[in-house]
Structure 1
Amino acid sequence: MRPSWWLRLFAALGFVVLLAPGALVALISISAGDFLTFPPPGFSLRWYRALLSNGTLMSALGTSALLAAIVSVLALLLGGPAAYAIARLEFPGRGMLEAMLSAPLLLPTLVLGLGLLLVLQPLGLAATWPGLVLGHCLVAIPFAVRIMTTAFATVPKELEAAAWTLGATPLQAALRITLPNAAPGAVAAAVLTFLVSFDETVISLFLVGPRLTTLPVEMFRYAERTTDPLIAALAMSLIVFAVLMVALVERLLGLTRAMGK
């Protein structure tokens, strides 16, 4: 049954509303003017060149990329076993464990950031790599657990049972049978947690310092003190990067399969 014309119209309007801000940022990013004005007085790639020559933003970009990579790996290493236990095992408190791992997503990041600052400051971990990694893992691990739980749940338990009858231990069956079949979900979880960490702003604002900062924080500071289109060029670059990451997962695995559905 084909959708009615009014349903297609509402869907088209929804896409327009969602994509309009991105289109506006794209136009401003190639503005030839010196200020954030619309419509642009002309078109030029000067702000993309200025972005590449901005040492502060490029340094923050490197920090965010490395931080996101570390958080992505840790989220899989820590969230993967928890997701396996939730999806495959029966034990008392399983529901409570799942709720606790999802709890950080229910709290405002402002509250999480302030709480982390109050805890990490006395320990000397504020404005340090361990502190930033811990703060980002707090919001990244729940995403990894959710995706990996779905991925593990879609693997038939009969495959593990067959491995057990052939002499494999439960650990061997999990590592050699279940995990490879859930690999697309692991890839999707890695990409999502990377993007979550890379884009995290509020928690980072509480935990960064003068010598250790992330790209979203530097973007925020740059937008406070300047009004040129360079920030639009940076925002557009990040949008393209996120789209490419998602497209790569879709190309290699398919989003439906990667999400474990």
Structure 2
Amino acid sequence: MKNKTNLRYKWIVGFFLGILLLPLAVIIIWSFARNWPWPKIFPSDFGMRGWEYFIAPSSKSIQVLLFSLGLSFIVTLAVLVITIPAAKALALYQFRGKRLIEILTFAPIIVPTVAVAMGIHVQFIRMGLANTLIGVVLIHLIPCIPYTVRILKSVFELVGEKMELQARVLGAGKIQTYVYVTLPMILPGIISAGSMAFIVSFSQYFLTFLIGGGKIITFSMLMFPFVQSGDRMLGSVYSVVFILTAFIFLMIIEKLTSRFYKGKLGEYHYV
């Protein structure tokens, strides 16, 4: 009976993995296929035109990709600086207007992005932030904050503040308490929230196009026209690079986090 249950579980897992991986496999094949006419199951004509275009200096694809990574990294750091104290306050403290602040925090997810962005664009023009890198960074904060606050709020609710209070009673200062007590406990949540913020920022097209005014070019802005056009090879190449970039970033973060816990923080029993 147990073997049948395990076999059924493996079939279910394999089925859903197949659903997730099949579109990715099709995109990878398309990135090398010159054409894929119906009703052929596999293309018969392959080429490297899409990848040659991507790595060509004239396309500036690699340069834009590196710029997008740097932009998303800056946005991620800014989001974490803003949302860590905000999430802690919402999770652990009671104050007047708390419920309203929570609603406003999650409003960017509920309210259509177009409506929010158009109003902010007008204000950014008046403030001189339109068509600037700072303006793009600020507009990227809006879709990132709700997700990071939600994740970190749940982490602080789970962790609580008893360990912090105990550390303060034992004579630890604020910085010591945060570095040696709070940070190790909330670090997995920070990694999760930061990863989410990075991916959300990295994938922004409309907000970047609107606020950047075409002067701030990100990888999503390069990819989107190819995806919309009939050139499936180029669209697939940029899609594969986009997916691999996000995947590699998450893997690097996972490895660094594992080493951090096994190394420096392994001696602390509260981890």
Q: TM-score range by the shorter chain?
A: 0.7 to 0.9
Q: CA RMSD in A?
A: 2.9
TM-superposed CA distance for 1:251, in Å, is 4.5
Partner of 2:268: none
Partner of 1:165: 169
1:215 has 2:219 as partner: yes
Deviations 1:126-181 (A, max 9, x none): 21111101110111122221222222222243212212322346676345422332
Paired residue secondary structure (1:182)? helix
Partner of 2:104: 100
| Matched-pair contact (CA < 8 Å) for 1:104–1:138 | yes
Q: 1:71 aligns with which of 72, 75, 83?
A: 75
Partners of 2:181 and 2:257 lie apart in 1 by: 18
1:88 has 2:88 as partner: no
- For structure 1, the residue ranges without an aligned partner over 5 or more in a row are none
TM-superposed CA distance for 1:80, in Å, is 0.9
| Matched-pair contact (CA < 8 Å) for 1:26–1:236 | yes
Amino acid paired to 1:16 = G
TM-superposed CA distance for 1:235, in Å, is 0.7
Q: Which moved more, 1:70-79 or 1:138-147?
A: 138-147
Partner of 1:26: 28
Partner of 1:40: 43
Amino acid paired to 1:162 = Q
Amino acid paired to 2:145 = I
Identity within the alignment, %: 26
Q: CA, structure 1 residues 228+112, in 2 after alignment: closer, same or farther (shift >3 Å)? A: same
TM-superposed CA distance for 1:209, in Å, is 2.6
Any residues of structure 2 matched to 1:188-207 within 5 Å, and which?
Answer: 188-207=192-211
Amino acid paired to 1:100 = L
Paired residue secondary structure (2:68)? helix
Q: How many residue pairs end up in the alignment?
A: 253
TM-superposed CA distance for 1:12, in Å, is 4.7
TM-superposed CA distance for 1:98, in Å, is 2.1
Give the TM-score of the pair, scaled to structure 2: 0.79
| Matched-pair contact (CA < 8 Å) for 1:127–1:212 | yes
| Matched-pair contact (CA < 8 Å) for 1:75–1:144 | yes
Q: Which moved more, 1:232-241 or 1:244-253?
A: 244-253
TM-superposed CA distance for 1:114, in Å, is 2.0
Q: CA, structure 1 residues 89+37, in 2 after alignment: closer, same or farther (shift >3 Å)? A: farther
Q: CA, structure 1 residues 153+248, in 2 after alignment: closer, same or farther (shift >3 Å)? A: farther
1:237 has 2:241 as partner: yes
1:141 has 2:170 as partner: no
Deviations 1:200-237 (A, max 9, x none): 11212212234322111122234456625122111111
Greater relative contact order (Cα < 8 A, sep 6+): 1
TM-superposed CA distance for 1:185, in Å, is 1.4
Q: CA, structure 1 residues 160+30, in 2 after alignment: closer, same or farther (shift >3 Å)? A: same
Q: CA, structure 1 residues 174+49, in 2 after alignment: closer, same or farther (shift >3 Å)? A: same
- For structure 2, the residue ranges without an aligned partner over 5 or more in a row are 262-271
Q: 1:179 aligns with which of 153, 171, 183?
A: 183
